[in-house]
Amino acid sequence: SQTIHQWPATLVQPVGSPLSLECTVEGTSNPNLYWYRQAAGRGLQLLFYSVGIGQISSEVPQNLSASRPQDRQFILSSKKLLLSDSGFYLCACSRAENSPLHFGNGTRLTVT
Amino acid sequence: QKEVEQDPGPLSVPEGAIVSLNCTYSNSAFQYFMWYRQYSRKGPELLMYTYSSGNKEDGRFTAQVDKSSKYISLFIRDSQPSDSATYLCACLYAGGTSYGKLTFGQGTILTVHP
């Protein structure tokens, strides 16, 4: 079965600082990978998805970027954080486009 | 109008009650339907995954899909305090440019009292 590792679990960063969140997947090859953000209202917003190495699609234009340097590694980055970037960031993967998503345990980011 | 609507609750029930959680959706292209459970400060955990209209049962959980009404439900029998969590419905269509992207409801907060 698939296992998704995310770190760190909690992060507090000042406004204007850079960000790098990493996600790695075990138990599957060539997965589809996703970054979601969950705000206080509980809804999940899709930020980026990737169907292969180096292939990134953005769903929402914003202060963030994503990269997939290896098959089972997905990175979320920012050059300069904004207060509005605070939230709960979740990495997810699926084996195929009609498969359910499996989520990691997320990173809670607070921008101060 | 959001593509997937879910009553946010909160919903509070006594232990042993039957819980009914519901979502409606507007996109008739959705083919696959999921329910996730999310505990505080954790990622969502897949509970149920269904494709066709009808019922699917797994232990105390039953997922129901009515494509004609665009209505999906999750029933929890004999609810336990450990069922206290946020429940998220999600819909998916395969093919085209979907790339497996899920559309989520807002989530319903459930509390089961001992």
Of B32, B41, B106, the CB nearest to A41: B106
CB contact under 8 A, A43 and B98: no
- Alpha carbon of residue B3 to chain centroid: 14
| B52 band by pLDDT with thresholds 50, 70 and 90 | confident
| SS3 label, residue B82 | helix
- The whole-angstrom distance between B90's CA and the closest CA on chain A is 9
Residue pLDDT, tens place only, A20-29: 999 999 998 8
Q: Do the beta carbons of residue A107 and residue A9 sit within 8 Å?
A: yes
Residue B54: is its pLDDT beyond 70?
A: yes
Residue B88: list chain A partners with CB under 8 A. Answer: 42, 44
pLDDT at B23: 96
| A42 band by pLDDT with thresholds 50, 70 and 90 | low
- Taking the CA atoms of A89, A53, B91 and B26 in sequence, report the sign of the dihedral they define: positive
Q: Do the beta carbons of residue A107 and residue A45 sit within 8 Å?
A: no
* Identity of residue A42: R
CA distance A76 to A66: 4
Cα-based distances in Å from A75 to A33, A35, A93, B15: 10, 9, 13, 42
Residue A41: is its pLDDT beyond 80?
A: no
* Identity of residue A58: S
Of B43, B105, B106, the CB nearest to A106: B43
- The whole-angstrom distance between B24's CA and the closest CA on chain A is 15
Phi, psi of A28 (to 5 degrees): -155, 155
Question: What are the strands of the beta sheet with A73-78, ordered from one edge?
Answer: A3-7, A19-26, A73-78, A65-70
Half-sphere exposure of residue A79: CA atoms within 13 angstroms, side-chain side? 2
On whether any CB of chain A is under 8 Å from the CB of B8, the answer is yes
